[in-house]
Amino acid sequence: MNREAAASSVEKLSHYIGGRRVPGASGRFGDVYDPAVGAVTKQVPLASADETASAIATAAEAFPEWSAQPPARRGRVMFAFRDLLMRNMDELAKLVSSEHGKTLEDAKGSITRGLEVVEYACGISELLKGAYSESVAGGVDSWSTRQPLGVCAGITPFNFPAMVPMWMFPLALVCGNTFVLKPSERDPSCPLRMAELLREAGLPDGVMNVVNGDKEAVDALLTDARVQAVSFVGSTAIGEYIYRTGTAHGKRVQALCGAKNHMVVMPDADIDQAADAVLGAAYGSAGERCMAVSVGVAVGDAPADALVEKLLPKLDALKVGAHTDEAAEMGPVINPAAKERIEGYIEKGVAEGAKLLRDGRGEQVKGFESGCFVGATVFDHVKTGMSIYTDEIFGPVLCVVRAGDYEEAINMVSSHEYGNGAAIFTRDGDAARDFAHRVQAGMVGVNVPIPVPLAFHSFGGWKRSLFGDHAIHGREGVHFYTKLKTVTTRWPSGIRSGAVFNFKAGGEH
């Protein structure tokens, strides 16, 4: 079957604008793979600038009425949406797994983490409470409030097609904004379905819109004056472009970007616990996580040898398979291009002199021989100048680095260009406290390998892992999607009169 015939046989997806599915009109489409079989199963329309502008116009038109709704009423929509997510969990997880490749349990777990942000957003009436100060001067009161921005946009990655959008739009919507989501074109079905569930939950048409696309759609969002704020999660190169372009056009931008997360294993660490931790943290979701542990820093040769000795049998027992296999613990990577890129890094690691202990190239799963599988890979004796150490591989590849002492280990972590997450495994409270205080990373775990904060805290890295002044979700998310207004009032009563032309000490004016 030629490409044209194959393309005509796959499902054609759509956009979601104004409360309904809208076919693409640009004539351009992107391929959506089922990574387990390595074949194209759907095609997604790639929006033109005009189509993107239409979604923005729809959101702008819906803003005045939606922003005028009481916060409690907006919160009730999130309550209903939360219930619909729970009832449709299996359907949503299948959509994620069939296009991303992660196991069903992993998909459900990621949806649950997004659900936590929805639950946080349900309390918007409390979150938007302002402050009031009586009698800041004679007969003068002052109070503050937070108001919505207008049309907001989200640009999200392929690795968490449900969770990451839910880091954005629930808070944006309950704060009174309208939203245009540009999900990854690699796995767009779950975001489209969530938009439909929002309408079912009572969200008015036009408040939430989904535009599928590539750079043309992204640039339209970044340059349109009606878009007030842009949230992004993805690679550093694209994130920096989005930050610089969006801010140059007067937008508020938060861009959460790449990572190279280190896990320091001290000589006194519980090695069994550390080995279990790194197994899940490095290879869960096939390593396609921005918080995946991709570097294990062992302080001393003895802890390094012990960690490797404990880890290798676990890798031998690791079950790699398709999402349809309930016993599978790790699925494929997103598509053939990702597989080729990850295997290229493994080849580089060998060429650069690292010791390859487990080689994931050529991983085969019975019945899925054409799937995009890369097996669990581990290098030992990795040096900091190697590309497998410096670059974000975004696959199931762990680098074990040996540090001579604690100071070398913490300096190694802190000197990397990324500062997303870092962890330390130790029984020493003093070392843990020092590490948490000094390490140059935005999220820190102590005997916790993936220190992703819950929804009522905020997620964000340092250095080239985050562009912008706000982290995502939690209180930071509320502040990102609102602007502060402070009102000072005085009501003339005849009790006190007379003009004042200067500021006086003590606040009298």
The total of other beta-carbon atoms located within 10 Å of residue 357's CB is 16
Tokens 């502060």 label which residue?
Answer: 484
- Of 446, 475, 498, the residue at which a domain comes to its end is 446
Give the Cα separation of 231 and 242 in Å (integer). 9
Whether residue 67 sits in one domain with residue 178: yes
Give the Cα separation of 301 and 356 in Å (integer). 17
SS3 label, residue 58: helix
Whether residue 183 sits in one domain with residue 303: no
| Domains: count for the chain | 2
Whether residue 272 sits in one domain with residue 241: no
| Contacts of 85 by beta carbon, 8 Å cutoff, 6+ apart | 92, 111, 115, 118, 194, 197
494 domain residue, yes or no: no
Whether residue 218 sits in one domain with residue 96: yes
Q: Which of 362, 28, 52 is nearest to 219 (CA)?
A: 52
Residue 413 lies in domain: 261-446
Strands lying side by side in the sheet with 39-45: 11-12, 39-45, 29-34
DSSP of 353-397: T-EEEE--TT---TT-TTS-----EEEES--TTSHHHHS---SSE
Whether residue 253 sits in one domain with residue 265: no
Chain centre to alpha carbon of residue 80: 24
> What residues does 462 pair with on adjacent strands?
419
Whether residue 221 sits in one domain with residue 81: yes
Strands lying side by side in the sheet with 421-425: 355-358, 377-380, 397-403, 293-299, 261-265, 421-425, 443-446
457 domain residue, yes or no: no
**Which phi and psi (to 5°) does residue 484 adopt?**
-85, 135
Whether residue 426 sits in one domain with residue 406: yes
Distances from the Cα of 32 to the Cα of 10, 374, 490, 492, angstroms: 9, 19, 61, 66
Q: Can 175 be counted among the known catalytic residues?
A: no
301 domain residue, yes or no: yes
The total of other beta-carbon atoms located within 10 Å of residue 86's CB is 12
Whether residue 293 sits in one domain with residue 270: yes
426 domain residue, yes or no: yes
509 domain residue, yes or no: no
455 domain residue, yes or no: no
Whether residue 250 sits in one domain with residue 310: no
Whether residue 301 sits in one domain with residue 221: no
CA torsion 273-276-282-284 (nearest 10°) is -130
Whether residue 270 sits in one domain with residue 367: yes
497 domain residue, yes or no: no
> What is the full per-residue pLDDT of the chain (509 aa) written as tens digits?
344 444 557 899 999 999 999 999 999 999 999 999 999 999 999 999 999 999 999 999 999 999 999 999 999 999 999 999 999 999 999 999 999 999 999 999 999 999 999 999 999 999 999 999 999 998 899 999 999 999 999 999 999 999 999 999 999 999 999 999 999 999 999 999 999 999 999 999 999 999 999 999 999 999 999 999 999 999 999 999 999 999 999 999 999 999 999 999 999 999 999 999 999 999 999 999 999 999 999 999 999 999 999 999 999 999 999 999 999 999 999 999 999 999 999 999 999 999 999 999 999 999 999 999 999 999 999 999 999 999 999 999 999 999 999 999 999 999 999 999 999 999 999 999 999 999 999 999 999 999 999 999 999 999 999 999 999 999 999 999 999 999 999 998 765 556 566 665 555 44
Query: What's the pLDDT score for residue 1?
Result: 38
From 152, 190, 257, 290, active-site residue: 290
The total of other beta-carbon atoms located within 10 Å of residue 204's CB is 15
Are the beta carbons of 375 and 331 closer than 8 angstroms? no
| CATH number of the CATH domain containing 74 | 3.40.605.10
Give the Cα separation of 84 and 91 in Å (integer). 11
Are the beta carbons of 445 and 280 closer than 8 angstroms? no
499 domain residue, yes or no: no
Whether residue 129 sits in one domain with residue 88: yes
Query: What's the pLDDT score for residue 509?
Result: 46
| CATH number of the CATH domain containing 428 | 3.40.309.10
